[in-house]
Amino acid sequence: MMKFDVANIDAAPGQKVTVTLTNIGTLPKAAMAHNFVLLKAGTDVTVFATAAMTHAETGYLPPEMAGNVIVATRLLGPGESDTVRFTAPAAGVYDFICSFPGHALVGMRGTLTVK
Ligand SMILES: [Cu+2]
C-alpha cells in the first residue's frame, strides 16, 4: 500500500523525535521501495517529488534540493526497516513524503505538526 500508517506526527519544538519506517510490502525494491523524507517548511512537495524521480542513485533524494531535507531514512526494500532521530524544528507544519517515484503524488505523505 502506498501509504504511511501514521499520517500525522505531533511534537513540541526542540523535542527529540524517533521515526522507524518499515516496508511491509513484498514487491521487489526496484518496483516498490519506500522512504521517509521530512521536508523543511516552505518546500513544495510536488517540486521535490518531481525532482526526486530522476535520482535513483541517491535513493530518490535530489542532490539539488538536499537543503530542503530535515531528515531522511534509507530507501527500503520489502521487509527492511530504518530509524532516524531528529530534533523537532520551530512551531509549524512540515510535510513528510516517500520520494520513490509517484508515491508522494498518490498520497504517500503526511505531516509533522510542531506546537
Ligand atoms: Cu513509497
Tens place of pLDDT per residue across the chain (115 aa): 789 999 999 999 999 999 999 999 999 999 999 999 999 999 999 999 999 999 999 999 999 999 999 999 999 999 999 999 999 999 999 999 999 999 999 999 999 999 9
Residues lining ligand 1 (ion), CB within 5 A?
34, 98, 100, 103, 108
CA of 31 to the centre of ligand 1 (A): 10
Nearest partner of 40 among 4, 90, 84, judged by Cα: 90
Distance 51 CA to ligand 1 centre (A): 15
Q: What is the pTM of this model?
A: 0.97
Q: Which three cell numbers stand for residue 89?
A: 524544528
Give residue limits of the domains in the chain: 8-114
User: Is residue 103 a contact partner of residue 41, using CB atoms and an 8 Å limit?
Assistant: no
CATH number of 8-114: 2.60.40.420
- Ligand 1 centroid distance, CA of 21 (Å): 11
Ligand 1: centre distance to CA 22 (Å) = 11
